[in-house]
């Protein structure tokens, strides 16, 4: 799942039935979801992202849901990402 820290986007938070879990299996404290528009590598995207406090200073995390949607290809051997 893609996750956004609360307060990063000014768009309205909507309710969601999603029950997110962290990598270690603990339940995340979700606040809802919101549709967010952003630019990445010169391209514009719009994606519905879960709003949830993260134990990091990052504004958010792009998850497999977004990467799959845009057909992203991550190559760890070459060290690059194409979407």
Residue ranges per domain, the chain? 3-82
- pTM equals 0.75
User: In the 8-state DSSP scheme, what is residue 81?
Assistant: E
Could you read off the pLDDT tens digit of each residue along the chain, which spans 83 residues? 899 999 888 888 999 888 887 777 888 888 899 999 999 889 999 999 999 988 888 899 899 999 999 998 877 877 666 65
Q: Is the dihedral of CA 54, 82, 18, 20 positive or negative?
A: negative
The token duo for 49 is 């992202």
């Amino acid at each position: 799942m893609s996750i956004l820290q609360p307060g990063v986007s000014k768009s309205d938070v909507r309710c969601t039935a999603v029950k997110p879990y962290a990598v270690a299996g603990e339940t995340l404290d979700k606040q809802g979801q919101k549709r967010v528009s952003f630019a990445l590598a010169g391209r514009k995207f719009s994606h519905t992202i879960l709003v949830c406090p993260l134990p990091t200073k990052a504004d958010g995390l792009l998850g497999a849901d977004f990467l799959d949607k845009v057909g992203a290809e991550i190559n760890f051997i070459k060290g690059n990402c194409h979407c």
